[in-house]
Amino acid sequence: MELFLLQSLFFLLLLLPLLLYLFFHQDAAKTPITHGLKSYPILGYLPHYIRNRHRFLEWSTEILICSPTHTMGFKTAALVGGVITANPLNVEHMLKTNFGNYPKGKLSISMLEDFLGHGIFNSDGEQWRRQRKAASFEFNKRSLRNFVVETVQFEIVERLLPLLRSAQEKDEIVDLQGVLERFGFDNICNVAFGEDPGCLTSGDADMKFMKAFGEAQNLVMDRFMSPIKVAWRIKKILNIGSERRLRELFSVIHNYSAKIIRAREQKAIKHKNDLLSRFAFNGEHNEESLRDVVTNFILAGRETTSSALTWFFWIISTRPDVADKIVQEVKSIRASNQDSSVTTFSYEDLGEMHYLHAAISESLRLYPPVAMDTQSCGGDDTMPDGTFVGKGWFVSYSAYAMARVEAIWGKDCNEYKPERWLEDGVFKPVSPFRYPVFHAGPRMCLGKEMAYIQMKSIVACVLERFKISVVGKEGTPEHILSLTLRMKGGLPVKVMKTEE
């Protein structure tokens, strides 16, 4: 009890000057934001941040849209400075042109180290280059692509469609976000580790790990969102609050990852298609680094596609015209197939679905799974728009805000419009620096093709058979800004059979 009181007193003393300042300057802090933020003596922009921390994504987007350069920079005494941008020229500068000056950085890596270790998403320099080279080699193999297609097809035919059919027959409400997360987890475990947790066939299979993984993401994000970056370290040392809970969650996550690695070793399987076997076979990884491989791939494979599809199905529920066009395209390709008994679609079939590709890409534009991505600045620099960036500052680009900038996407930027991606009915990609949903430059997402295979397969097979009706969500659903953009409260839906 005495220790708790001492800890509480410590944090009160730490925050007292800030609390007093905010208390006596409440009216001033409400000054309307136009093209910039009012800077306060000593505290700089910190009062604005604290007041809007609960709606940080919307707040920062509002500022970036109003800014003439679509960039905001800030520096507060004794705290790390930073820049957030929605300017494609700045994005290209940091992710490609001056890539070497914008690594993940020690601060960012330290905040994720006990979660992701030094895996490909949380490493810099030679350590990152070595992993990137190995991963790039594997991802470019046709055998892996074929394995992904087969795995997705199995999960759809044997699990997803029967689950939705059962819900339709029983007139049950289903949390589609939860279903998609379980699908993503089954799929990535099969593709990456050769393990089949079977979460879609048994609701409680490996659920302890999945819940721990989701909660850990939210609590780790709190480290990034804290106005006092050292606070999480202090709590970790004292083993209190969210850091105490994170220690418990990381134990669950790492034990699960270690179990997967031991299972591969016991089976002594070599030359298998799964990524873990491929990485383990090259002999450059010990158990700890393989554990990092497992955790990083689960984050990439489970969280991003499930987030993307959750928002997509919500949008489609409000746009029956788009759903009808997708179904027409799917039926057209189905009619051209000689074998009508096949339930899913081949890689070549998916490649012909240009409208579906556009519909998913447009949903990703408005609701990117990774809404903001952060690097650090290695040395003093000036962005193409003239924004100064100091050494050690964090630098973020907001894919979420970029989708809402008229200068990038036109006056209809806030509209969901798949046609913006089509030219004479054929999908036309845009610059990744204008559309950094899959990152860009040397760190461009290697799993982009895998993600589209999974998303297009799911959407084509589901909309061909079912109509998805959202229950109890009025207006735009609230989001949870975690490491990925998740929908608050899930996505409750009713599944109805389509008319023949």
For 368-387, the pLDDT digits (tens) are: 999 999 999 999 999 999 99
Q: What is the pLDDT of residues 441-493, one digit of tens each?
A: 999 999 999 999 999 999 999 999 999 999 988 889 999 888 899 999 999 99
Q: In sequence order, what are the beta bridge partners of 71?
A: 85
**Residue 203's pLDDT band (boundaries 50, 70, 90)?**
low
Least confident segment among 57-66, 126-135, 262-271, 296-305: 262-271
| Residue carrying the six token digits 């100091």 | 390
Q: How far apart are CA 488 and CA 11, in angstroms?
A: 30
Instruction: Sheet containing 173-175: give its strands across.
Output: 173-175, 492-497, 466-470
Contact 292, 117 (CB under 8 A): yes
Q: What is the pLDDT of residues 383-405, one digit of tens each?
A: 999 999 999 999 999 999 999 99
What burial letters (b/e) apply to 174-212, b meaning 16+ CB within 10 Å?
bbbbbbbbbbbbbbbbbbbbbbebbbbeeeebbeebbeb
Name the burial class of residue 124, with classes exposed (0-12), middle (13-18) and buried (19+) by CB atoms within 10 angstroms of its CB: middle
Average pLDDT over residues 74-84: 74
Tell me the pLDDT of the chain averaged across its residues: 86
Stretch among 251-255, 334-338, 340-344, 362-366 having the lowest mean pLDDT: 340-344
CA angle 213, 219, 220 (to 5 degrees): 85
The pLDDT value recorded for residue 486 is 93
Query: Across-strand partners of 191?
Result: none
Go through the domains of the chain in sequence order and give each one's CATH number.
Answer: 82-497 (1.10.630.10)
N- to C-terminal Cα separation, the chain: 67
How do strand 82-85 and strand 394-398 relate by DSSP bridges? parallel
Token pair listed for 119 = 């895996």
Q: Average pLDDT for residues 278-290, to the nearest whole number?
A: 69
Nearest to 313 by CA among 374, 364, 370, 237: 364
Q: How many other CB atoms are there within 10 angstroms of residue 456's CB atom?
A: 22
**pLDDT grade for 1, boundaries at 50, 70 and 90:** very low
Sole residue written with tokens 């979420």: 400
How does residue 5 score in pLDDT terms, banded at 50, 70 and 90? very low
Q: Which residues 6+ apart lie within 8 Å of 113 measured at CB?
A: 122
pLDDT one-digit tens code per residue, 138-181: 788 888 888 889 999 999 999 999 999 999 999 999 999 999 99
Q: Is pLDDT at 78 greater than 80 in this prediction?
A: no
Helix (H) or strand (E) holding 480: strand 479-481
Produce one character per residue of 395-417: b if its CB has 16 or more CB atoms within 10 Å, e if not.
Answer: bbbbbbbbbbbeebbeeebeebb
What's this model's pTM, rounded to 2 decimal places? Answer: 0.89
Q: Which residue has the tokens 């395209």?
A: 329
- The answer to whether residues 121 and 128 touch, using CB atoms and an 8 Å cutoff, is no
Q: State the alpha helices, DSSP H only, in 226-303.
A: 231-238, 241-267, 275-281, 287-298
* Residue 320 binned pLDDT confidence (cut-offs 50, 70, 90): very high
Sign of torsion over alpha carbons 382, 383, 388, 394? negative
3-state DSSP assignment of residue 412: coil
Report the candidate in 284, 196, 286, 297 with the shortest Cα–Cα distance to residue 253: 297
Could you give the CA distance from residue 427 to residue 423 in angstroms, rounded to a whole number? 6
3-state secondary structure of 481: strand
